[in-house]
Amino acid sequence: MTHLTQDVNKLLDVRGLNIQTHSQTLLHDLSFELKEGQTLAIVGESGSGKSISSLALLGLLPSTLQVSGQAILQQQNLLQLAPAQLRFIRGQKIAMIFQEPMTALNPLHRVEKLIGESLRLQGLSKSKTRERVIALLQDVGIPQAKDKLRRYPHELSGGQRQRVMIAMALAQDPEILIADEPTTALDVTLQVQILELLKTLQQQRNMAMILISHDLNLVRRYANQVIVMQHGHVIEQGLVQDVFTQPKHAYTQNLLNHDFGQALHVPVQEVLLDLQQVAVKFPIKQGLLNRVKDYVVAVEPLDLQLQQGRSLGIVGESGSGKSSLALAIARLIPSTGKIVLLGQDLNAYSEKQLRPLRRDLQIVFQDPLSSLNPRLSIEQIIAEGLQVQKIATTEIKQRVEQALIQVELPLEFKQRYPHELSGGQRQRVSLARALVLQPKLIILDEPTSALDRSTQRAIVALLRRLQHEYAMTYVFISHDLHVVRALCQQVLVLQHAKVMELQNTEDLFLKPQTSYTQALIQASQYQL
């Protein structure tokens, strides 16, 4: 194998990187240099080629894809290394933090094994590995690190899981850290914390970093260089300051645009949803008999009313009780108090009595790929709820097509499957599945968090149009305050299961009543 020379400060030199299938080119001629202590941001929409370019460096792409070009690390072309040689590169030279820790972390392993596994494979003793794991957990800002060793991923919060994944990546002291959308699924305050943590660790270890994101406004605080990509092509490339102050391409200007428009002005209507002292708590069971020892309070008793045709935004950090409240409203988890929808208390009904009412209340989840059945076509997915109601086949077909038109998807998508669609298209299918039942209330749990900015704007515009045309009522959960402000007439702020404030949206943004709300607003402005 030919050895190639490389500048002393230059860790990685990528030249003419191309990735192709048998029929199309997914990445066209990507070139960049990465130096010690430097952060390079790769930015673009879903499908622009951001993630596959980094996976190619580590030899993690499927064998069906053809990779060409050069990626020189320590005088070796990574693209020509055998799998056995790449094993010494992964983790030791280049480490990667993935977007969704819950799917990237093995659910069967405890934290100690997750972080320590690579160290044990290097021959470190069990006691030395434990010491190193505790030190790494402390480095990434996890309090009471020793207590977390025996926890499984599902027993950690979203922020803690992300920190565990960062600790795993740092275990072998890599020279280059690839962070692939490391904050997408986190609330605004946690996003800032994680990015500040990465920046601090980078400075302490003099690491180089490749930061992959769809949010150009987020990366400008943390990157030196930026590459803007669209459909596998490099649209703009240069110093962050130059690209931000003088974006040359309309696509870059669009990514920089944070204007989602304004929430609709909705006249006073009848109350559709009335929550009276609704509370959620989960039992802690222990012992052989699995007896309830105590309770974890997820939502403290609260009251609120939501009028027809209006949107209620629910915001707060991870673990504040947002999703628990949404699931309680939908009667997917038990709660106390009264949940009055269309004059009927859902908590007074049995599961059988509730079934006919479920068409009036639908829920759209954060990750459409995991909430859509991969074995069903788009037509079958949307029609599923109608078939339960024993509606005629011809009417089902008409209503499925109408739902696709409502969410602005082509009718030929009926025959496709979820994996054949982009993230934004899958989210539109999730929305169509809810709309086809003609519900009175739709609960949307973080429906835009995993989408790029332009797709987010399109989804928000779509939701606003549906609200205007059909007087749709939404309960909208999000950690993105820009999206909430553009869609919701009211905002409920939760912290540690408690209501911090409930205000009309513009009043909340202009005159927040609590320091916690002020901090959330400041964190969202920090991204601009």
* pLDDT at residue 287 greater than cutoff 90: no
Confidence of residue 1 (pLDDT cuts 50, 70, 90): very low
Q: Report CA torsion sign: 371, 377, 378, 381.
A: negative
Q: Report CA torsion sign: 67, 73, 74, 75.
A: positive
Confidence of residue 3 (pLDDT cuts 50, 70, 90): very low
Number of helical H runs and strand E runs in the chain: 21, 20
Q: What is the pLDDT of residues 135-185, one digit of tens each?
A: 999 988 888 889 889 999 888 877 788 889 999 998 988 999 999 888 776
What is the DSSP pairing of strand 271-286 with strand 336-341?
antiparallel
Q: How far apart are CA 148 and CA 375, in angstroms?
A: 37
423 touches 450 (CB < 8 A) = yes
* pLDDT at residue 211 greater than cutoff 90: yes
Q: Where are the alpha helices (DSSP H) in 393-476?
A: 393-406, 423-435, 453-470
pTM of the model: 0.77
Q: What pLDDT sits at residue 2?
A: 41
* pLDDT at residue 5 greater than cutoff 60: no
Confidence of residue 87 (pLDDT cuts 50, 70, 90): confident
> Which has the closest alpha carbon to 325: 345, 339, 311, 308?
339
What is the DSSP pairing of strand 39-44 with strand 208-213?
parallel
> Which has the closest alpha carbon to 111: 81, 76, 85, 144?
144
* pLDDT at residue 371 greater than cutoff 60: yes
Q: What pLDDT sits at residue 430?
A: 93
Max alpha carbon distance in the chain (Å)? 76
* pLDDT at residue 284 greater than cutoff 80: no
* pLDDT at residue 6 greater than cutoff 70: no
Domains of the chain are: 37-50+89-256 (3.40.50.300), 309-320+351-526 (3.40.50.300)
The number of residues in the chain equals 528
Confidence of residue 302 (pLDDT cuts 50, 70, 90): very high
Q: What is the mean pLDDT of the chain?
A: 89
Q: What pLDDT sits at residue 122?
A: 84
Q: For the residues 22-44, what does the mean pLDDT come to? A: 93
Q: How far apart are CA 442 and CA 108, in angstroms?
A: 34
Type of residue at 204? Q
Type of residue at 85? Q
Confidence of residue 4 (pLDDT cuts 50, 70, 90): very low
* pLDDT at residue 290 greater than cutoff 80: no
Better pLDDT: 257 or 338: 338
Phi, psi angles (nearest 5°) of residue 158:
-60, -45
Q: What pLDDT sits at residue 185?
A: 64
Q: What pLDDT sits at residue 197?
A: 86
* pLDDT at residue 246 greater than cutoff 50: yes
477 touches 326 (CB < 8 A) = yes
Q: What pLDDT sits at residue 13?
A: 96
The token pair at 132 is 């190193």
Q: What is the pLDDT of residues 478-487, one digit of tens each?
A: 888 889 999 9
Q: For the residues 249-264, what does the mean pLDDT come to? A: 84
Phi-psi map region of 225: left, alpha, beta (phi>0 left; psi -120 to 50 alpha): beta
418 touches 372 (CB < 8 A) = yes
What is the DSSP pairing of strand 311-315 with strand 490-495?
parallel
Q: Measured between alpha carbons, how far is residue 288 from residues 282, 292, 295, 426 in Å? A: 19, 11, 18, 44
> Which has the closest alpha carbon to 448: 130, 184, 115, 246?
184
Q: Measured between alpha carbons, how far is residue 165 from residues 96, 110, 429, 452, 504 in Å? A: 9, 12, 31, 23, 38
* pLDDT at residue 286 greater than cutoff 90: no
Q: What pLDDT sits at residue 129?
A: 94
